Structure 1
Amino acid sequence: MEGTLWAIVPPLVAIVLCFVTKNVLLSLFVGIFTGGLLLNSFNPITAVGYSLEKIVQSIADEWSVKLLLFNLMMGAGIAFIWKLGGSKALADWARNKIKTRRAAEVWAWLLGIVVFFNDYINAAIVGNVTRDIFEEHKISKEKLAYILDSTAAPVATFFISDWIAYQLAMIQSGLEQAGISDVSPLVAFLKSIPFNFYCIFTIAFVGIIAIGRWDFGAMLKAEYRSQRFGKTSRDGASPMLNVDFELGKPKETKPMIKTFVLPILALIVVTVVGFYYTGAKVGGESLIEILGNSDAATALLWGAFAMTITGVAIALVYKLMDLAETMKTILEGFKLMLLACAILVLAWSIGAVTKDMKLADAVVSTVGEQASFAVVPAIIFLVGMFISFATGTSWGTMAILTPIAIPIAYKITGDAMLSASVMAGVVFAGAIFGDHCSPISDTTVLASIFAGSDHMDHVNTQFPYALTTAFVALVLYLVYGFFKISPFVLLPVGIVLLILIARYLHKRDLSKLKSILERA
């Protein structure tokens, strides 16, 4: 079964079940078990053993352990912000400063662009800063999750972050595979940015939707529910994070804004210092090299720990809690994140199953290397979308496709810089599509967590938006391939197309919604 298209079955089973049952944990485990059956001659006993082993391996990995601890510590930090009244203080401030739904959404969008140094920390910070403001303005949890998800990985891929260091390494690998020695990976990366259509369009589309108020599809229904009935989550939803239910009402009647600002500031400062310290410890002359050598998981864990300790310190110094209450709050915060941690573990496990079944090899061999350069960017983009959506990992997709795509393009064109820059941009775009919207992607899960959204509600409402930007990107890759029009011309064209599409779909779906309501 390895290396054949049978390898798509486990993630496909998991994804389909996610949509059908709305039960992410069950769906992921069934997907893992399906892989175990295929790899163990349909023996259910050995398949169960294989499935459990994959889960154990996922938990035992050092990176995974640190990220799980990061999530638990973030839960504790969030618990302190909530119980000490920080969230209420922020909502009180926002009530005077951010007076409209549009302003709240635009602020979240811009904040998501500013927090660019890591996709995980982006979702954590922006989610914590905006969650109660969105609640105040009765904006759906699904909308917040969409904004978080669309300004996390798509933003981190462009600016100075741990992502760039990894992407440079992938470009270097592709250049080596192609036998290219006279192209700088950094220069190739910088020239690849205009070709990363999907990420650029995704970031822009958030602004288009927020400013124009042009929601459509399932998101329009979610927003109508929030505005009309004041329900920011649907009836029967299972929010990934529900601080009000789990922690109760804040105990501080006169909340201080510092109980919000100081823990978040500690999170940011310690994480940034952690990135630099762990990278500089290994070595590196430039900031990019230092980031490339940094231990992102360690830096994130340090930051979340600092956030929690700051909450404890505020509680004790201002006599808002005694020591026993602070320990209880930490445990309550851990409890907030248990479901999210379970989903992350199973998502990593099914990723390991697809690796064992050599899904990437099967997809690449099916596509083949014989194609005109006119269609190569579009084909590589589609393959990247497929692999990343099925596996839920953008970095894994980059590692698979970059060493293949650059040699293919170089073999066809003979142009080293063109091959490296175009293919890098296309691969990164396709890879981030799945990371952005697959239900088994860790960043999609984290967006649901920090928005406090039901996970599958987030996936269902975001998917039409992701497909819209992916469709426009695909069309423009074909236009570039056939006509060699500069990406600096195609990018504005793409944004105009997105505006027109969003406006049309909004009017169409709004008309349908009104018709349904009139008949009800």
Structure 2
Amino acid sequence: MQKKWIWLLGLLVLFTPELAFAAETEASLAAQLGWMTLIPPALAIVLAFITKNVVVSLFIGVYAGTIIVSMAGGENILLALVSGFTGFVQLALNSLADPWNAGIILQVLTIGGLIGLITKMGGARAVAESLTKYAKGPVSTQVITWVMGLLVFFDDYANSLIVGPIMRPVSDKMRISRERLAFVVDATAAPVAGIALVSTWVGYEIGLINDAYASIGQDVNAYGVFLDTIPYRFYNILMLFFVLVTSVSLREFGTMYHAQIRSRDEGKVIADDSQPMVDNDADEEPHAEGTIWNALVPIGALIVFSLSGFYTNGRDALLGSGDARLVGLVENAPFSFETIREAFGASDASIVLFQAALVASLIALVMGVAQKIFTVADGIDYWINGMKSLLITGAILLLAWSLSGVMTQLGTADYMVSLLSGSMPPLLLPTVIFLFGAVISFATGTSYGTMGILMPLAIPLAAALEPGNAEFVVMSAGAVLTGAIFGDHSSPISDTTILSSMGAGSNHIDHVRTQLPYAIAVASVSIVFGYIPSALGLNVWISLLVGLLAIVALVWILGKKVDPTEKIKQL
């Protein structure tokens, strides 16, 4: 099988010059290359599923992209192989040099160190034992995980990195597969942050809405439009409801059903041939019994300093923006809801979360030393060992960002958007926008990039197809925002999906493989019972209610009940 893929890659590389670069043209690279701009993400995604080695798959995808870029510049195959490798190195360096990306890497590693300290202090075990009093079965365990995901609404990264590690020991005890835990964590990360009234997403989404309306000469209350789009975020809302329904009913289907059966019958929360994202060596026995406060205080500090950091960092950004309205807002009403919302949206979440994780780590270190659980030197060693367990996560994120970089060079997203050209029946526009958002975000692994590409197209197009129909424009804007969430939630190269696998301790490809059927099922319900009826004129709240009922019917028709604790009860 692997030889066939090597031959296929070789043929693509060898024949690309004649197919794509025979004639010089002033057209954009996306127009020049056409479908070949899809080769890097397609290779990465397909190979990841076949080989189950996401690092190798991402490397091949990035390297294939840099080779194509080199050949587009007129180089022959031999020179392209060399310059393609140097291009890969440059992409990796540029990705790591980006302040946002560097902040995410530091945040991930630091939270890994924090988890290592909490584990050594017995905090993780104490939390697990405490939650066991309430999480007495698989239903309550998953519902508690779902509720925690809703509570950590302010940022999808923080959600994935906090909820997974806390619930993992309890979930394992209930024989809930790591794939299922990763799904619950992932489904309450981006889908929640994307519609939260205050989050690290809001500012970006509002900015896109405001600019798109400005392009058609309309001055609107962008936040008001954002609120109006929430009922049209069918995928976000229905996915959250889907998680709750499947958790309460214990009904599963597709590949998730088989994962749950394996965990129930064999007691294996991870498949034998799968490598979890988190090194099992990090889950060493604690040095002390510890109390629940050994976990709650550091994690509480992480949350408190994150929230305060979002405000202070964003406030400084607003004061330095030069926007008189925003500066006046901060100075005259520093703690109003509007100020807090604007500050959260303007903050640099990656830096804030790194700073908060570092402070929380210092607090955990002081607590451990004060309780004589370990010395300062030993505590630092435990912190570094905790970081080591997440090095693979950092490597995958770096490669995913490099893949995004080479796709930007190739114009992959531009090519995909160009397929939207031509006449479009108004009835189908919201559905088509949602589908393109889903496909682009899945292929590129970025929701922000997808929103930035489609929003400037969707709002003018909707306004042109349905003049005077403000609700139709809002519906189309909602389709952009929720379609972009699909890829952020389900793509194997999405950073949120990667972090959810890490937080839950699941194998990354196993997480994607079991989650994807659920994501596609909910997306289908969103179209059939959401966007199409709403575009026909059905009230959005009725469409949403019908969609919720359709989710219940879907779970009961396709799903089969799997009680993970059934074997435990028989022992």
TM-score by length of 2: 0.86
Deviation at 1:478, TM superposition (A): 4.8
- In the TM superposition, what are the counterparts of 1:463-502 in structure 2 within 5 Å? 463-480=516-533, 482-502=535-555
Aligned match of 2:53 in 23, 32, 49? Answer: 23
Give the aligned residue type for 2:124: S
Aligned to 1:365: 418
Give the aligned residue type for 2:248: I
The farther-off stretch of 63-72 and 169-178 is: 169-178
CA distance in 2, matches of 1:102, 1:367: 43
1:265 pairs with 2:303: no
1:178 pairs with 2:225: no
- In the TM superposition, what are the counterparts of 1:181-330 in structure 2 within 5 Å? 181=219, 183-242=220-279, 244-252=280-288, 254-283=289-318, 284=326, 285=329, 286-330=339-383
CA distance in 2, matches of 1:369, 1:85: 61
> What SS does the corresponding residue of 1:40 show, helix, strand or coil?
helix
Give the aligned residue type for 1:333: G
For structure 2, the residue ranges without an aligned partner over 5 or more in a row are 1-19, 21-28, 72-76, 319-325, 330-338, 563-571
CA distance in 1, matches of 2:245, 2:431: 25
CA distance in 2, matches of 1:16, 1:108: 31
The farther-off stretch of 294-303 and 66-75 is: 294-303
Deviation at 1:96, TM superposition (A): 2.4
CA distance in 2, matches of 1:7, 1:481: 34
Aligned match of 1:447 in 466, 490, 500? Answer: 500
* Mapped contact 2:429–2:462 kept (Cα < 8 A): yes
* Mapped contact 1:91–1:136 kept (Cα < 8 A): no
Structure 1 residues 459 and 177: CA distance shift in structure 2, 3 A:
same
Deviation at 1:364, TM superposition (A): 1.6
> What SS does the corresponding residue of 1:5 show, helix, strand or coil?
helix
Aligned to 1:421: 474
Deviation at 1:282, TM superposition (A): 2.4
CA distance in 1, matches of 2:114, 2:558: 40
- In the TM superposition, what are the counterparts of 1:33-432 in structure 2 within 5 Å? 33-41=63-71, 42=77, 43-159=80-196, 160-181=198-219, 183-242=220-279, 244-252=280-288, 254-283=289-318, 284=326, 285=329, 286-415=339-468, 417-432=470-485
CA distance in 1, matches of 2:470, 2:341: 21
Return structure 1 stretches of 4+ with deviation > 6 angstroms: none
CA distance in 1, matches of 2:390, 2:217: 47
Aligned to 1:513: none
CA distance in 1, matches of 2:302, 2:535: 48
CA distance in 1, matches of 2:451, 2:415: 16
Q: Please give the per-residue CA displacement for 1:148-168, whole angstroms capped at 9, x wherever unaligned.
A: 100000000111101111100
Which has more radius of gyration? 2
Fraction of identical pairs, as percent: 36
Deviation at 1:476, TM superposition (A): 2.9
Deviation at 1:411, TM superposition (A): 0.9
Give the aligned residue type for 1:330: W
CA distance in 2, matches of 1:482, 1:123: 34
* Mapped contact 2:298–2:364 kept (Cα < 8 A): yes
RMSD: 1.4
Deviation at 1:419, TM superposition (A): 4.4
Deviation at 1:481, TM superposition (A): 5.4
Structure 1 residues 119 and 441: CA distance shift in structure 2, 3 A:
same
Aligned to 2:11: none
CA distance in 1, matches of 2:470, 2:223: 11
Q: Please give the per-residue CA displacement for 1:180-226, whole angstroms capped at 9, x wherever unaligned.
A: 22x21111111111111111111111001101111111111111111
Q: Please give the per-residue CA displacement for 1:458-486, whole angstroms capped at 9, x wherever unaligned.
A: 00110110000001112134523552111
Deviation at 1:228, TM superposition (A): 1.6
Deviation at 1:250, TM superposition (A): 1.5
TM-score by length of 1: 0.95
Deviation at 1:95, TM superposition (A): 2.5
* Mapped contact 1:376–1:481 kept (Cα < 8 A): no
CA distance in 1, matches of 2:467, 2:507: 49
Q: Please give the per-residue CA displacement for 1:115-173, whole angstroms capped at 9, x wherever unaligned.
A: 10000001112112211111121111111100110000000011110111110011012
For structure 1, the residue ranges without an aligned partner over 5 or more in a row are 511-520
CA distance in 2, matches of 1:153, 1:270: 21
How many pairs are equivalent? 506
> What SS does the corresponding residue of 1:291 show, helix, strand or coil?
helix
CA distance in 2, matches of 1:34, 1:146: 31
CA distance in 2, matches of 1:76, 1:412: 53
Deviation at 1:5, TM superposition (A): 2.4
CA distance in 2, matches of 1:169, 1:339: 34
Structure 1 residues 153 and 437: CA distance shift in structure 2, 3 A:
same
Q: Please give the per-residue CA displacement for 1:248-282, whole angstroms capped at 9, x wherever unaligned.
A: 21121x22111111110110000001000101112
Give the aligned residue type for 1:119: D
Deviation at 1:245, TM superposition (A): 2.2
* Mapped contact 1:81–1:259 kept (Cα < 8 A): yes
